[in-house]
Amino acid sequence: MSNIKYKIRKGDEVIVLTGKDKGKSGEITKMIPAEGRAIVQGVNMVKRHTKQTQTSEGGIITKEAPVHVSNLALKDPKTGKATKVGFKIEKDGTKTRISRSSGEAI
């Protein structure tokens, strides 16, 4: 297992930088730090053929597949464009994430 910490987290609004969904944005629903991947809502949709079970219907189901974290960038809350994440230590000692391009708190 890897002990890598990522600057983006679950619940963040991100933009896809490369691949078939380049330019699309969505919210991170799940992080998979062991693989360095994240599942983004409405991005990298794949079709899966599933067998019917007692709890779920069978058939072709469309769902999100994981995207590598290197292909994602945080969406700037001010401009709506891709930005890097920085950190700022407040007067009271708390550490907050900021957008590098606008300086806005995330």
Q: For the chain, which domains are there?
A: 13-76 (2.30.30.30)
Distant-in-sequence contacts of 24-32, Cβ < 8 A, 24+ apart: 25/75, 28/72, 29/64, 31/6, 32/66
Which whole number is the average pLDDT over 80-103? 92
Average pLDDT of the residues of the chain: 93
Global pTM value: 0.84
Size of the chain in residues: 106
Which whole number is the average pLDDT over 47-75? 95
